């Protein structure tokens, strides 16, 4: 039997960073996000020994390790973490493929983790629901592998769609209720631009968490701004009033300014060049997706200026990624030989 699964990448609009512990457990956090039609795909097939062979199609890398291996210092540690936390004792061949490059800022590692858990959930009939799968993914990344970061990516990938996610001692996922017209107009106004580079999110998050550790006033104010932006965005989308949508772009800008104030590593000259150029030609607001340092800019343009903005971004080396919102989260299916 072969099991295949796919989990989508997410685009976070507001609140990113407030989902990180210990801030979210002590002060509460929230994020508004959606998933898009770009995926990480996984295939698993049982072997007749206790070895795990992983093939990553994108970077043409392959590794073979024993079931139960807890050496998390090399590449492919995520696969080891999933197998150990799920207490898997059988050997497998695992193949993975990603529609977007590593370090894209759209939660790729968490999408991979969710897709892996989903495939094993189907193979062993573990009866985990989407919330269980997302929680397991958080446990694997944050506890087992001790990787720094928040909790939004795992829940976005598992659930899919347009959601408002709240973080405190528990995690609550609330689907955004609005009209197709509102979602279509938002989609039409957005530009996703790859600006190069990639980010090392744990390094940036280390610096951000220092601000929390020393309870800097500026840090706490910025985090409150990020939460306020997320709530304001939710209100606009759920108002179903398309005439309010330009305010969504303005809140993107406000959130980006708040996020940049958390660490000098979040932006750089290259990112600022792309952002300021886009603002000059009709973009109302935007943000870098992910922790910072590189990857993709998400921009909200005046609709009548969108294609002029795209031309100008391409002139300075930006790569436009065409995408659509995707209402589905994790999907799993099986093939019988």
User: Which residues are catalytic, by number?
Assistant: 153
| Sheet with 283-288: strands ordered across | 283-288, 295-301, 190-196, 319-320
* CA–CA dist 224, 52 (Å, integer): 45
The distance of Cα 256 from the centroid of its chain, to the nearest Å, equals 16
Are the CB atoms for 260 and 222 separated by under 8 Å? no
Phi-psi map region of 149: left, alpha, beta (phi>0 left; psi -120 to 50 alpha) = left
Q: Kindly list the distances between the CA atom of residue 89 and the CA atoms of 84, 86, 175, 268, 317, in Å, as whole numbers in the listed order.
A: 9, 9, 37, 46, 48
Strand partners for 5: 42, 332
Structure tokens at 186: 């938002």
Candidates 61, 56, 45; CA nearest to 93 is 45
């Amino acid at each position: 039997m072969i099991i295949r699964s796919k989990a989508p990448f997410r685009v976070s609009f507001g609140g990113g960073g407030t989902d990180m512990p210990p801030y979210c457990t002590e002060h509460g956090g929230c994020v508004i996000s959606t998933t898009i039609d770009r995926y990480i795909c996984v295939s698993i097939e049982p072997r007749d020994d206790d070895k795990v062979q992983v093939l990553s199609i994108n970077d043409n890398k392959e590794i073979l390790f024993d079931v139960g291996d807890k050496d998390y210092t090399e590449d492919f540690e995520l696969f080891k973490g999933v197998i150990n936390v799920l207490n898997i004792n059988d050997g497998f061949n695992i193949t993975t493929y990603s529609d977007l490059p590593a370090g894209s800022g759209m939660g790729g590692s968490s999408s991979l983790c969710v897709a892996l858990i989903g495939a094993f959930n189907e193979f062993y009939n573990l009866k985990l629901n989407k919330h269980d799968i997302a929680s397991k993914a958080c446990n694997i990344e944050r506890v087992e592998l001790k990787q720094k970061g928040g909790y939004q990516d795992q829940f976005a990938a598992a659930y899919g769609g347009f959601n408002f996610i709240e973080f405190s001692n528990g995690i609550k996922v609330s689907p955004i209720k609005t009209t197709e017209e509102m979602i279509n107009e938002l989609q039409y106004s957005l530009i996703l631009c790859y600006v190069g580079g990639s980010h090392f999110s744990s390094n940036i998050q280390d610096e951000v968490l220092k601000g929390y550790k020393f309870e800097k006033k500026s840090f706490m104010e910025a985090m409150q701004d990020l939460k306020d932006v997320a709530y304001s965005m939710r209100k606009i989308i759920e108002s179903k009033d398309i005439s309010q949508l330009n305010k969504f772009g303005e809140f993107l800008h406000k959130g980006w300014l708040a996020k940049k104030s958390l660490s000098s590593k979040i932006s750089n000259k290259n990112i600022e060049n792309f952002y300021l150029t886009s603002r000059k030609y009709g973009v109302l607001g935007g943000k870098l997706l992910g922790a910072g340092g590189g990857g993709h800019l998400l921009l909200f343009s005046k609709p009548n200026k969108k294609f002029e903005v795209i031309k100008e971004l391409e002139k300075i080396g930006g790569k436009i990624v065409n995408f659509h919102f995707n209402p589905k989260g994790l999907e799993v299916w099986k093939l019988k030989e």
